[in-house]
Chains A and B, each alone.
Chain A
Amino acid sequence: MNVSRFLTTTSQYAFLGVAAFLSLFPFLWMLISSTNTSIDIISGRMGLGDALRTNVANFFTLVDVPLVFWNSAKVAVLATLLTILVSSLAGYGFEMFKSKARDRIYSLVLLTLMVPFAALMIPLFMMMAKTGLINTHVAIMLPTIASAFIIFYFRQSTKAFPTELRDAAKVDGLKEWQIFLYIYVPVMRSTYAAAFVIVFMVNWNNYLWPLIVLQSNDTKTITLVVSSLASAYYPDYGVVMIGTILATLPTLLVFFVMQRQFVQGMLGSVK
């Protein structure tokens, strides 16, 4: 190995090492800080402390943990399942039943990707207020279900669906909805898994819309709880760290268990 080659390899390792350290440090910080008192945390203590038990106990006194977790899980899982169902129906429909009119509508659907949420939140809030849905989880889920991005993802993936399967099922006399349910869904399960991971992440981490709609403590999700604990005048960072760990754990878990699907889902848009 010549000298210049060695230098570039070394500098590549150095670059990656620094990047990996900076990427992982906040996670490490989160874990270390959960064992420290608030004062130690804001004065940058890097060692393990002995306040973990106190922090956890304080967190459980301040927050109804099972309820908050249940709220988050319920909203995230239900919204995700509905999103996937509705969007895969549309992706399948647009790709399998092509027509000029529907292709034009599809272009319009894609255009909605550019609509910023800020331009929707006021009318949506007024709509929910009028229908008495403020402070309900239904209000959180409804606007998130139809997703142009996931429709696009399913339409792109459907291009790889073997049409012979559909033709054979038709010959066997299956109705269109049966073909979708009994043939398309099982064949496309890896597409569904990838979509699930991506949409679940988005819903679990959803913040602005729940912040607007959920106003009482018994409906709040974990992200809202962490945010409100941290924005107190003198936040107890030890308690906040327990909150951030609990808020991050499910997404980290999903990521590590389904890493391949996660990446595949994200890349679905550039295929």
Chain B
Amino acid sequence: MAAGKTGGLKRYYDLNGWLFIAPSLILISVFLVFPIIRSLYLSFFSGKGMMMKFAGFGNVVRLWNDPVFLQALKNTVTFFVVQVPIMIVLALLLASVLNNDRLKFIGFFRTAIFLPCVASLVAYSVLFKSMFSVDGVVNQALFAVGFIDTPIGWLTEPFWAKVLVILAITWRWTGYNMIFYLAALQNIDKSIYEAARIDGVPAWARFLYITIPMLKPVILFTTIISTIGTIQLFDEVYNLTEGRGGPANATITLSLYIYNLTFRFMPSFGYAATISYVIVLMVALLSFLQFYAARDRS
């Protein structure tokens, strides 16, 4: 065969290879590669609307003196630092319990816990907004069981607004992550757990010393995906706070700030592009760190 694969045949093979991937490559070049480079270029310009002038690193300097940007950066970091670990641990616990086929109604539990990730981001944000109103169903329930004696201002107090955003994202995405762990767990040989159980290893230790190490690649994957997602958080905060990121910018995220800078007020394309590169750098840095951390230990 090797002799036949020379000249014309090889060129035919190569040509077909390029033809199959060409549509994707063209679309990616136009709608992804070009814009990301254009963003970088724009970040060197300042001005409003189409009146732009070269500003060098002026936008970067402006970042450090912009309290709204700093607040958005702080909020975004808070969201993923607090939310991602809570969600991953919760998803792992759920998956390890749901992996037990001896439990009854296991199919129902799996479907129920997975169902939130079918909901549209806008729809569930709006639902949460109505559930967490001052006299809403959540405050009433908390009041009824005696957890609170005055209603919590979920949408009016900066601290609780952040908590609400974290609760909402956790509700939406825990089941999504859980499914990945469940699939990975089902590939693990059950006899390992049996052996550990017979040797008297308690459940928590089996979870900590068998489940977690076995799932490390999946945990890494989902952590990266979740972190990238949370850094770009937009739909939820926009719809929980009428697009303002309130109260008092307590929930404004970088993406929301970019949107407001570009499409709510007179557009500052250059400055908004600079902020978008902060997101690019954060995503790149965190993905690198997480990969590095995972490589190092193995």
Contact = CB atoms under 8 A, between A and B. Distances in A.
Contact of B28 (A45, A99, A112, A230): A112
B115 A27 contact: yes
Nearest to A86: B23
B35 interface: yes
B119 A251 contact: yes
Contacts of A69: none
Instruction: Classify the secondary structure of B's interface with A.
Output: helix
B20 A115 contact: no
Interface residues of A, number: 86
Contacts of B218: 270
A124 interface: yes
A231 B171 CA distance: 22
B228 A120 contact: no
Contacts, number: 267
Q: Is the interface of A mostly helix, strand, loop or mixed?
A: helix
A252 B180 contact: no
B152 to A, nearest CB: 13
Given A33-B130, A92-B20, A251 B118 contact: yes
A77 interface: no
A196 interface: no
B197 to A, nearest CB: 10
B283 interface: yes
A217 interface: no
B17 A102 contact: yes
Interface stretch (A8-16, A54-62, A185-193): A8-16
B280 A119 contact: yes
Interface string A1-37: 0000000110011011001101110110110010000
A231 B243 CA distance: 8
A44 B136 contact: yes
B255 interface: yes
A87 B114 CA distance: 27
Interface string A115-151: 1111111111111000000000000001101101001
Interface of B: 13-14, 16-21, 23-25, 27-28, 31-36, 38-39, 42, 93-94, 97-98, 100, 103, 108-109, 111-116, 118-124, 126-131, 133-141, 171, 175-176, 179-180, 183-184, 203, 217-218, 221, 228, 231-232, 234-235, 238-239, 242-243, 254-255, 258-259, 262-263, 269, 272-273, 275-277, 279-280, 283-284, 287
